[in-house]
Amino acid sequence: MNIEKFKHQHVKIFECIETLRLHSLAGVAANAREIALTVVRMSSVIKLHLSVEDTVLYPALRSSSSRAIAKMGDAYQDEMKVIARSYEEFARKWNTASNVARDPDGFRADANVVLKKLYARIRQEDADFYPAIEAI
């Protein structure tokens, strides 16, 4: 299975996370517009990524001849549902400049929790999950 598009989307998500980090360091309130736009941009990539995973990747893994990879896919999908819900709440809350500017400390706190989980998950996929998929 060719998963290059998934990997490319991971790079885009990492770029957005880094952009958010840099804008936050430079001042959340002062960069509220750019932060909100980045959240919206990242959300588009994440929604597409999750949709294709759910409709193409995970079903393909379930029908794989490798029971281990099918089981791994199910575990990754279940875990991602929890992370996706957290991210969706984060994105709904911080997708406007006014919300970001109104509560810079809240944005930082939420970003530190939600984006750290998302970042760690993507790193895990890149290090463990995708190589396992490519090996079959």
For 67, residues 6+ apart whose C-beta sits below 8 A from its C-beta are none
Residue 136 DSSP one-character state = -
CA 10 to chain centre: 8
- Rounded Cα distance between 53 and 17, Å, is 20
- Rounded Cα distance between 34 and 48, Å, is 21
Where are the chain's structural domains? 4-135
- Is the pLDDT at 106 greater than 90, yes or no? yes
Q: Which amino acid is at 82?
A: V
Give residue-wise pLDDT tens across range 5-60.
Answer: 999 999 999 999 999 999 999 999 999 999 999 999 999 999 999 999 999 999 99
Q: Which amino acid is at 33?
A: R
CA 44 vs CA 40, 51, 91, 127: distances in Å: 6, 11, 10, 24
Q: What is the pLDDT of residue 78?
A: 97
C-beta neighbour count of 128 within 10 angstroms: 12
